[in-house]
A and B are shown apart, each in its own frame.
Chain A
Amino acid sequence: SQKIEQNSEALNIQEGKTATLTCNYTNYSPAYLQWYRQDPGRGPVFLLLIRENEKEKRKERLKVTFDTTLKQSLFHITASQPADSATGFCGSSNTGKLIFGQGTTLQVKP
Chain B
Amino acid sequence: NAGVTQTPKFQVLKTGQSMTLQCAQDMNHNSMYWYRQDPGMGLRLIYYSASEGTTDKGEVPNGYNVSRLNKREFSLRLESAAPSQTSVYFCASSERGVNGYTFGSGTRLTVV
Binding site for B on A (CB under 8 A): 6, 8, 32, 34, 36, 41-47, 49, 89, 91, 93, 96-103
**Chain A's interface: helix, strand, loop or mixed, by majority?**
strand
Contact residues, B76-106 vs A (CB, 8 A): 90, 92, 96-106
Size bracket, chain B contacts: 20 to 34
Are the C-beta atoms of B43 and A44 separated by less than 8 Å?
A: yes
Are the C-beta atoms of A100 and B43 separated by less than 8 Å?
A: yes
5 examples of A-B residue contacts, CB within 8 angstroms: A43-B92, A97-B50, A99-B59, A101-B42, A102-B40
Total contacts A-B at CB 8 Å: 63
B33 at the interface (CB under 8 A from A): yes
> Given the complex, which residues of A lie within 8 Å of B2, measured CB to CB?
none
**Which of A6, A49, A101 is close to B99, meaning CB atoms less than 8 Å apart?**
A49
B74 at the interface (CB under 8 A from A): no
Are the C-beta atoms of A44 and B41 separated by less than 8 Å?
A: no
> Given the complex, which residues of A lie within 8 Å of B42, measured CB to CB?
6, 89, 100-103
